[in-house]
Structure 1
Amino acid sequence: MNFASVRIITDDLDRLVKFYEKVMGVSAQRPAPVFAEFVMPSCTLAIGHSETVPLFGEGSTVAADNRSVIIEFQVHDVDAEYERLKPFIEEWVKEPTTMPWGNRAILFRDPDGNLVNLFAPVTEEAIKRFNGRD
């Protein structure tokens, strides 16, 4: 089994796509007006408009209603990403911090309120843990 993607459902697809294009520094693929994908080597971040929900089962998901998942991206330099994104991110949940498990991280919310974590392993143990994952 291969982990393929995480999909966010939103009422404002264009706004969320533009946000993640700025955060990720890549353009989304738009195979349909109601769907976008950021295809990366490690995984795909998909964004679907709430109009697509009936395709999965009426009421199966609700746009902008997540408080249990963190969307995480491994980066090379958390502090550099923080400086790059400072003019763009309105509210930081966590400014650059080294976590107890050895990752340096910044956390913020996307326009729909989803929590986003940019992190880099910085301690010897964390670096070993992530060796070969990228």
Structure 2
Amino acid sequence: MNFISIRIITDDVKRLAGFYETITGLAATWYSDDFAEIATPAGTLAIASTRTMALFKAGAARPADNHSVIVEFRVGDVDAQFRALADVIEVVQAPTTMPWGNRSLLLRDPDGNLVNVFTPVTAEAIRKFDR
């Protein structure tokens, strides 16, 4: 099995895709007005309209109702990312070094989903991500 992507269901694909374009610096690829993807070297963030859920079981997903998943992006310098984005994002926690060796910036996207932008800073964390 190969992990490929995470899909976020939203009422406003354009707004959410714009947010993720801003924080990643990557352009979304649009497949329809209801579906866009932001591809990174490690995986893809898919963003889909609630209208796409008509193709699945009714009630399977509810937009802006996540309370347990954190979308994570590794960056070269989380502190620089924080300085660049501080005025355009909702910061939950400024960059903080975590016990497992990552320096993490915790944000909320426009739908309220948690987003962790991090840089490994300890030797062990750096080794983990340089596989």
TM-score by length of 1: 0.95
| CA RMSD, 1 decimal | 0.8
- 2: CA distance between counterparts of 1:120 and 1:23? 14
Paired position in structure 1 for 2:65: 65
Matched AA of 2:60: S
- 2: CA distance between counterparts of 1:83 and 1:61? 34
- 2: CA distance between counterparts of 1:92 and 1:39? 24
Gaps of 5+ in 1: none
Gaps of 5+ in 2: none
Alignment of 1:36-75 (within 5 A): 36-75=36-75
Q: What is the DSSP-based 3-state SS (H/G/I as helix, E as strand, rest coil) of the residue aligned with 1:41? A: coil
- 1: CA distance between counterparts of 2:92 and 2:51? 30
Alignment of 1:69-88 (within 5 A): 69-88=69-88
Q: What is the DSSP-based 3-state SS (H/G/I as helix, E as strand, rest coil) of the residue aligned with 1:116? A: strand
- The size of the alignment, in residue pairs, is 131
TM-score by length of 2: 0.97
Identity of aligned pairs, percent? 56
Alignment of 1:117-132 (within 5 A): 117-132=116-131
Matched AA of 1:113: G
Give the CA deviation at 1:26: 1.0
1:95 aligns with 2:94: yes
Paired position in structure 1 for 2:15: 15
- 2: CA distance between counterparts of 1:65 and 1:88? 22
| 1:46-91, Cα deviation, whole Å (9 max, x unpaired) | 00000111212111100011010000000000000000101211x3
- 1: CA distance between counterparts of 2:124 and 2:31? 41
- 2: CA distance between counterparts of 1:116 and 1:41? 18
4+ runs deviating over 3 angstroms = none
